[in-house]
């Protein structure tokens, strides 16, 4: 296996564009997944009985092999469309995000909830001002897992004609044998860098949003 | 600083029946808590005391009957609005861990949309009131405070919007006995200033006696066994249940409700070093009820007892023959503590002194006993002989 620095230099524009596409596909999937999961979580908060069925459905989606899902979707939603990619990518975030949000809310101490009710919070005020802020560490933990795994999963969408850095790894890499070593490795390294950067960004966000979680009695 | 006094809280035939239960949790409660008083709901577990309290702010809705605050039925007020107007303190305190102490205290004013500046001023005032320096505590988080400090923040938070009524569910249940005693005293001093109407739930009869202006004793099934002042309940338990619940030592418990200043003090025979024995002998002989003379210094501070033996013969009194160790008590001392001091001394007389240690009188074991046998005034203002069966509440 030989690394060819010249290839990298000659293809910087293309690599940059693919990286942007990769970030775009990831962010879109996580944002949509988060919105759907949030809606499901509010539903579960009002009707706890729905939690098990929702876990069942999202769990099943999570278990479908990604290649099979793309194969199933392509005839319906088209080759190389963002829609095809996102349906799959979003599906894989739902289990992790919904579960962490619901568990985050359930982890809010009962005495805090009772005090909030006793002091005259409406149900919505309680959700927004008390339950969600307290659930935040668990919610962001879920976001981190979902984001990192989406970064990895985006590469597979290269098989449908999109794929961001996956294009480097699969189309220019794996499929071209030993000639593809440089693009494949470039794509791989950038994927890892993206995943680590996203993870650190979210961790920083969590720290910034939950100053209370790090302060403990010093006396 | 606050003259807003509490409101009258009245329970009228209040019953709570949970679906599927054969017996009601609270059964036909009728009693009235006067404005500005602490009413303690006490009883064994399963007596419905917490249920009763939570019906006041509608965390639980009564099945029948009604509860009024200053004549207005609580069910006529939207639940959220009602709760913002009632202070609420629970055993686990329930501070919001993600809000600073200042933000926690300002929660209800914020829900009521007070202007920022007014909230800030109010938070400062309340932290001062509960003895937490605002500059030190305002920007801390609950996790950085001790249990006692958090408890005070809980009380400050409940007082934030100056509600006429406060509900307190075992507020001191989670702190150790020594700290509990201090928090109780602090709270009683606070209540003297704010004069709220307080519904206070506890399972601890000693706490009920200490904190309550009135006590409602509930028994299993949410039945009101007795509603009266602590002294009246201890003097005249309405039923065998109440008698067992308050305990066999209810005489002693009553002693902790009364203070030395409630007694008529005996006049001491006060002597100073150098007085003639014969003269003192004569004065001691004339004094009723007292067998000892009390030797004092130039500032009328007690030094010791002089008995008949010390007075035999003639010549001036020798201060060295005095028996030292006369127990001293203050007018504010509870009769329970006074009795304890008296029983531990050889001469069973206590010397009552003022704040500068000067003798103002004597207290005897007999006088304390007589106080226990005196009639007690009940909440309805009538005097009850001890042991006379009180009318069931």
User: How do residues A125-152 score in pLDDT, each as one tens digit?
Assistant: 999 999 999 999 999 999 999 999 999 9
Q: Quick one: pLDDT at residue A91? A: 92
CB atoms within 10 A of CB A166: 26
Closest Cβ–Cβ partner in A115, A120, A216 for B84: A120
CB-based contacts of B252: which residues, under 8 Å, 6+ apart? B336
If residue B217 lies in a helix (H) or strand (E), which one and from where to where? strand B214-219
State what percent of residues in chain A have pLDDT above 70.
96
Q: Which tokens in the block code for residue B246?
A: 């308050």
Residue A98 in this model has a pLDDT that exceeds 90: yes
Q: Indicate the SS3 state at residue A182.
A: helix
Compare B226 and B325 and report the one with higher pLDDT.
Answer: B226
Query: How long a stretch of residues is chain B?
Result: 393
Q: Cα–Cα distance between B99 and B79 in angstroms, integer?
A: 24
Q: Are strands B38-42 and B214-219 parallel, antiparallel or unpaired?
A: parallel
State what percent of residues in chain B have pLDDT above 70.
97
Q: Quick one: pLDDT at residue A167? A: 82
Through-space distance between the first and last CA atoms of chain B, rounded to whole angstroms: 37
Q: Are strands B349-353 and B328-329 parallel, antiparallel or unpaired?
A: parallel
Q: Cα–Cα distance between B98 and B30 in angstroms, integer?
A: 41
Any chain A CB within 8 A of the CB of B136? Answer: no
pLDDT tens digits along B244-281: 999 888 888 888 888 888 888 988 999 988 888 888 88
* Eight-state DSSP code of residue B391: P
DSSP characters for B108-160?
A: HHHHTT--HHHHHHHHHHHHHHTT--HHHHTT--GGGS-HHHHHHHHHHHHHT
Q: Which residues of A touch B (CB under 8 A)?
A: 109, 111-122, 125, 130, 133-134, 210-213, 215-219
Q: Cα–Cα distance between B222 and B60 in angstroms, integer?
A: 14
Any chain A CB within 8 A of the CB of B144? Answer: yes
Residue B92 in this model has a pLDDT that exceeds 60: yes
- Render the burial of B265-286: b for 16+ CB within 10 Å, e for the rest: bbebbebeeebebeebbeebee
If residue A161 lies in a helix (H) or strand (E), which one and from where to where? none
For A57, A160, B318, the CA distances from A70, given in Å and listed in that order, are 18, 7, 112
Contact criterion met (CB < 8 Å) for A120 and B59: no
Q: Quick one: pLDDT at residue B389? A: 46
Q: Is the ipTM value over 0.95, yes or no? A: no
- Render the burial of B157-181: b for 16+ CB within 10 Å, e for the rest: bbbbbebbbbbbbbbbeebeeeebe
Contact criterion met (CB < 8 Å) for A134 and B57: no
CB atoms within 10 A of CB B353: 19
Q: Which residues of A touch B61 (CB under 8 A)?
A: none
* Eight-state DSSP code of residue A109: -
Q: CA dihedral in degrees (B84, B87, B91, B94; nearest 10)?
A: 40
**Residues paired with residue B42 on neighbouring β-strands, in sequence order:** B202, B217
How far is Cα of residue B58 from the mean position of the Cα atoms in its chain?
A: 27
Cβ atoms of B268 and B289 within 8 Å: the answer is no
Q: Please, which pLDDT band fits residue B346 given cuts at 50, 70 and 90?
A: confident
Q: Quick one: pLDDT at residue B104? A: 96
CB atoms within 10 A of CB B355: 8
Contact criterion met (CB < 8 Å) for B97 and A212: yes
Q: Are strands B349-353 and B359-364 parallel, antiparallel or unpaired?
A: antiparallel
Contact criterion met (CB < 8 Å) for A112 and B96: yes
Position of tokens 């009188």? B361
């Amino acid at each position: 296996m030989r690394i060819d620095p010249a290839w990298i230099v000659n293809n910087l524009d293309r690599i940059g564009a693919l990286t942007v596409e990769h970030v775009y596909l990831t962010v879109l999937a996580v944002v949509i997944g988060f919105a759907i999961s949030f809606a499901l979580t509010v539903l579960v908060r009002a009707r706890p009985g729905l939690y098990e069925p929702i876990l069942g459905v999202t769990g099943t989606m999570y278990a479908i092999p990604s290649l099979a899902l793309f194969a199933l979707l392509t005839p319906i939603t088209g080759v190389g469309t963002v829609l095809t990619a996102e349906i799959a990518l979003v599906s894989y975030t739902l289990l992790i995000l919904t579960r962490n949000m619901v568990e985050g809310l359930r982890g809010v101490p009962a005495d805090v909830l009772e005090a909030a009710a006793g002091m005259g919070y409406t149900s919505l005020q309680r959700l927004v001002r008390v339950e969600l802020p307290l659930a935040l560490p668990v919610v962001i933990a879920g976001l981190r897992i979902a984001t990192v795994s989406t970064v990895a999963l985006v590469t597979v969408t290269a098989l449908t004609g999109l794929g961001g850095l996956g294009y480097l790894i699969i189309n220019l890499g794996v499929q071209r044998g030993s000639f593809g070593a440089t693009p494949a490795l470039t794509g791989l390294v950038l994927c890892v860098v993206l995943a680590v950067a996203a993870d650190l960004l979210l961790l920083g966000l969590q720290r910034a949003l939950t100053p209370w979680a790090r302060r403990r009695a010093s006396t | 600083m606050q003259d807003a006094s509490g409101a009258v809280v009245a329970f009228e035939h209040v019953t709570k029946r949970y679906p599927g239960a054969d017996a009601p949790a609270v059964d036909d409660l009728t009693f009235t808590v006067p404005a500005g008083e602490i009413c303690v709901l006490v009883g064994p577990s399963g007596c419905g005391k917490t249920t009763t309290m939570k019906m006041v702010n509608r965390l639980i809705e009564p099945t029948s009957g009604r509860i009024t605050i200053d004549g207005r039925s609580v069910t006529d007020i939207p639940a959220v609005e009602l709760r913002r107007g009632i202070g609420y303190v629970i055993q686990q305190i329930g501070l919001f861990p993600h809000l600073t102490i200042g933000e926690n205290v300002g929660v209800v004013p914020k829900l009521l949309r007070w202007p920022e500046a007014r909230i800030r001023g109010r938070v400062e005032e309340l932290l001062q009131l509960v003895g937490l320096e605002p500059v030190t505590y305002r920007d801390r988080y609950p996790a950085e405070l001790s249990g006692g400090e958090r408890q005070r923040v809980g009380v400050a938070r409940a007082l934030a919007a100056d509600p006429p009524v406060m509900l307190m569910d075992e507020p001191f249940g989670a702190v150790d006995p020594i700290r509990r005693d201090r928090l109780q005293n602090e709270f009683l001093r606070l209540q003297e200033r704010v004069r709220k109407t307080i519904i206070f739930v506890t399972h601890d009869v000693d706490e009920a006696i200490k904190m309550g202006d009135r006590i409602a004793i509930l028994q299993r099934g949410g039945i009101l066994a007795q509603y009266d002042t602590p002294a009246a309940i201890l003097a005249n338990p309405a039923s065998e249940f109440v008698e067992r619940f308050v305990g066999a030592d209810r005489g002693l418990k009553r002693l902790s409700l009364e203070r030395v200043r409630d007694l008529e003090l005996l006049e001491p025979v006060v002597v100073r070093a150098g007085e003639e024995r014969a003269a003192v002998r004569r004065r001691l002989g004339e004094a009723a009820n007292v067998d000892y003379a009390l030797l004092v210094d130039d500032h009328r501070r007690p030094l010791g007892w002089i008995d008949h033996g010390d007075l035999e013969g003639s010549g001036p009194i020798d201060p060295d023959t005095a028996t030292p160790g006369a127990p001293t008590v203050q007018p504010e001392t509870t009769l329970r503590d006074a009795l304890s001091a008296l029983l531990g001394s050889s001469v069973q007389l206590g010397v009552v002194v003022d704040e500068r240690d000067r003798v103002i009188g004597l207290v005897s074991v007999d006088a304390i006993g007589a106080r226990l046998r005196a009639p007690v005034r009940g909440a309805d203002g009538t005097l009850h002989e001890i042991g006379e069966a009180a009318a069931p509440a």
